[in-house]
Structure 1
């Protein structure tokens, strides 16, 4: 019967395993024939009579040692995990075998056999993956085990053309690309990726796993004529993404001295965040969105492309600012504000549901906004009615009332003309 061979999948096995310092004859994978990125991989190893280990194991009766079958499965799992890491943090990860559970050896493997190495990621816990691993020859299982594979960070990788000043602190696993400039007071966390020709300067702190794309400018002096070179800072949290040509300026002495950005935010290309701004967590800034100085943007807000927010304004939690809008008053949380000058287009129901807000909470917010936007009450009267309504007691409504009461610039409660409101509703 003629044996059929699966078509190999292209993965750079030697380059990936080179991170583990494997060299011939220690490479135990010949090719990859199936690959589901981040989940499953099938590789093959063709056993020949020329394997060095067979010369003494055993003379006259060559048999592949069981420990090498486990090693081959570990290498297959490493290729799977390292290939996935390439797309997140290129060239910054390596794998470490943390443990082997429930190893079983079912049959002998001899020269002429082709071992099919199957690994499937069952679960992950931080930087440890648990993989089910099975080795087969033909239809027979020859070895199986549960593998615990750890992902470890390499030392920082700095391109030779990058200019990293003495005194800068670069975390393990961080990649500094070509022509990057890093100032002497910069601190960059672990597993970050700084793209080509980006500039990071000043007293800037960047949290772990942050991505800075090419030509971004982070931590330079503020565009404020009162600034006289004082020591001010920029503090950035973890897992933020700054796309091409983003500019983030550090604070001023008059504004508290710190520009602060939280975790898990996305800043699309050409976004500008001016001095002394505070940005919360999990926000999204569309292309070329701009914050003037001293602006506060709260958690999960979404600011559309080419929109501008006036200095000292606040953008409330889970607010949605439509594209090309100009915000000159505090933007209410939970609603859609659109236009120049921005007007309120009702509750952002779709966005709130996508973010996991319960239906009951959305219903309470709808009733609260009827007092604010659709009744003939003024703002003070509407807030009083909301506070007196026993059916409006959820934390989001309490926060909404507090947001309005603490506003210094005033809140935007203007509704659009009926014609415009209908057009936006249709969209």
Structure 2
């Protein structure tokens, strides 16, 4: 299956509502790609085309085909050389059938002759197996230049990836490595031994990679490593590691850090997490994949926040927050399974039901934690990888886990929210 589709579309300079590709169905590297566009009635172009009989304009069918062709090209050598794809021409276009709201448009692209800066592709579109449109596309590949504002302070030894943009008055330190297609906003600072993955966005006044707030720190060469497509909003602060904590602060891919978030030294953050405004992590905290830490939360040093955990607003977490659960309060208490979040993340209903069964043992059975874990393991109806991970998370905790239930009053407040 094709990866990095958002990054490819970013090179294509498209955003909603101009993105006309929803799903990649088939992919043969360098040769063929099949995608799907779900044509819904709320598409903006239906408002005036035509009143009383909405149909998809033919030019937008061609546009969707050209976007699919660009994705196919950007997964080859162009993806590594910092190029964008532009539509240069359309030949032999024919429209066989109209496209209406509710149709599922299947878009097929097969690459033909290709040169260094030009490529040809055969494009066809289908609805329900019937041919809708066909054409030949001529596509141009243009190098993307790095843009550094004249007022930015970029050290000569800093490494800036292709297609990245450095805004006015931004400061980039000597040892910084910024990947391709990144954005650094006005007056932002990136310093220290910091690596920023491709497609990341650093908004104005954010401070990334500065020295840790640890009195034992004496200027050692410690690092901050950031993955792909992370978003750091205004006034976010992310600190490097310390020698005592392994020397590195690690952030995965596709995380969102809203305004004023602070991540202290030696933290480990996974993929696809969300941090609300002013959320704060102490040193050595681990936040696992898909966790959601709401606005104003504080997480004590050395704590862990488990996979798919949801921490309610302004909570104070002083022990490990259990995976898949909703935890809220000062001090934080467990509420129940994070069912809404799990559904949004696409977990199967059967898996969610098994997790609910495991939480019944942990929270309602009146067994102590050791006995509850034993019963979960013995209950074969709960067997799945998510439940095994939950059990392992609790057993490997060094600070203890939050398994004390919220009061009824807290539950009522959370339900109202």
TM-score, scaled to structure 2: 0.72
Hey, what's the Cα distance between the residues in 1 that align with 2:324 and 2:17? Answer: 39
Distance 2:164 2:224 in 1: 19
**Whole-Å separation in 1 of the counterparts to 2:320 and 2:141:** 45
2:148 to 158, 168, 177: 158
Structure 1 residue matching 2:380: 3-state secondary structure: coil
Relative to structure 1, is the Cα distance of residues 131 and 306 closer, same or farther in structure 2, using a 3 angstrom cutoff?
Answer: farther
Aligned 8 A contact 1:39 1:121 in 2:
no
Moved over 4 A (4+): 96-100, 120-125, 128-133, 150-153
The structure 1 residue matched to 2:364, chosen from 362, 374, 390, is 374
CA contact (8 A) 1:272 1:291 kept: yes
Q: 1:249 to 1:380 in 2, by over 3 A?
A: same
Asked if residue 296 in structure 1 is aligned to residue 296 in structure 2, the reply is no
Shift of 1:193: 0.6
Change over 3 Å in CA distance of 1:350–1:233 after alignment to 2:
same
Q: Which of 218, 224, 227 is 1:234 aligned to?
A: 224
Which position in structure 2 is the counterpart of 1:202? 192
Structure-2 separation of matches of 1:217 and 1:129: 45
Equivalent in 372, 393, 405 of residue 415 of structure 1? 405
Name which one, 1 or 2, has greater alpha-carbon Rg. 1
Which residue number in structure 1 is paired with residue 181 of structure 2? 191
User: What is the rounded CA distance, in whole Å, between the counterparts of 1:320 and 1:346 in structure 2?
Assistant: 10
Aligned to 2:208: 218
Distance 1:96 1:418, change over 3 A: closer
Residues 1:334 and 2:324 are matched in the alignment: yes
Aligned residue for 1:250?
Answer: 240
Is residue 2:18 matched to residue 1:37?
Answer: yes
| Paired residues for 1:135-146 under 5 Å | 145-146=135-136
User: What runs of 5+ residues in structure 2 fail to find an aligned partner?
Assistant: 1-15, 22-44, 46-61, 71-81, 95-104, 111-118, 125-133
Deviation at 1:419, TM superposition (A): 2.3
SS at match of 2:391: helix
Deviation string 1:76-122 (CA, Å, 9 cap, x unpaired) is: x79xx9xxxxxxxxxx974356997xx4399xxxxxxxxxxxxx994
Specify every segment of 5 or more residues in structure 1 that has no aligned partner in the other structure, as ranges. Answer: 1-34, 43-72, 82-91, 107-119, 134-143
3-state DSSP of counterpart to 1:146: strand
The answer as to 2:382 corresponding to 1:401 is no
Q: 1:225 to 1:105 in 2, by over 3 A?
A: closer
Instruction: Please give the alpha-carbon distance, in whole angstroms, between the structure 1 residues aligned to 2:186 and 2:361.
Output: 52
For 1:18-417, what aligned pairs fall within 5 Å after superposition? 37-39=18-20, 94-95=84-85, 103-104=91-92, 122=107, 145-147=135-137, 149=139, 152-417=142-407
Aligned residues: 326
* CA offsets 1:255-298 (integer angstroms, 9 cap, x no match): 00000000000000000000000000000000000000000000
Cα distance in 2, alignment partners of residues 215 and 231 from structure 1 = 24
Distance 1:95 1:347 in 2: 45
The alpha carbon displacement at 1:154 in A equals 1.1
Structure 1 residue 206 displacement after superposition:
0.4
What CA deviation, in whole Å up to 9, does each residue of 1:328-367 have, x standing for no partner? 0000000000000000010010110000010000000001
CA contact (8 A) 1:198 1:213 kept: yes
CA RMSD in angstroms, aligned pairs only:
3.3
Structure 1 151/227 Cα, relative in aligned 2: closer, same or farther at 3 Å? Answer: farther
Q: 1:177 to 1:300 in 2, by over 3 A?
A: same
Relative to the length of structure 1, the TM-score reads: 0.70
Would you say the 8 A contact 2:92–2:136 is kept in 1?
no
Instruction: Report SS of the residue matched to 1:398.
Output: helix
Distance (whole Å) between structure 1 residues aligned to residue 258 and residue 139 of structure 2: 35
Aligned residues of 2:144 and 2:163 also touching (Cα < 8 A)? yes
Corresponding position of 2:28:
none
Whole-Å separation in 2 of the counterparts to 1:410 and 1:124: 54
CA distance in 1, matches of 2:240, 2:120: 39
Partners of 1:37 and 1:249 in 2: CA distance = 37
